Amino acid sequence: MTADSERSEVVVEGYKKHKLAHSALHRIHQLINGFEHERAADLRLARIGITIIILLLGVAAYFFFGSDSLTIS
């Protein structure tokens, strides 16, 4: 009888370890997916920021080079 109870304890402990490992793996996958979503959002915001900077530089260059020359006499 003691062999059966010892085996049952081993099986229960194995199940608990397996369940804990599965839960940890699931949490790790959730974290990785969260990081990937944040990275995609950061990339999108960086593209928008670069576009705005290029537009501002274009407008500044237009006003700088397109303005009438002033001559000081």
pLDDT tens for each residue of 53-69: 999 999 999 888 886 66
**Domain count along the chain:** 1
In angstroms, rounded to a whole number, what is the distance separating the alpha carbons of residues 57 and 49?
Answer: 12
**Residue spans of the chain under pLDDT 50:** none
Residue 68 domain flag: no
Q: Is position 71 within any domain?
A: no
DSSP string, 19-71: HHHHHHHHHHHHHHHHHHHHHHHHHHHHHHHHHHHHHHHHHHHHHHHHSPP--
Question: Does 70 reside within a domain?
Answer: no
Q: Which domain holds residue 53?
A: 1-59
Q: What pLDDT was estimated at residue 46? A: 98
Task: Name the residue with tokens 């950061």.
Answer: 42
Does residue 51 fall inside a structural domain?
yes
Distance CA(22)–CA(26), nearest Å, equals: 6
53 located within any domain: yes
Q: What is residue 68's predicted lDDT score, i.e. its pLDDT?
A: 65
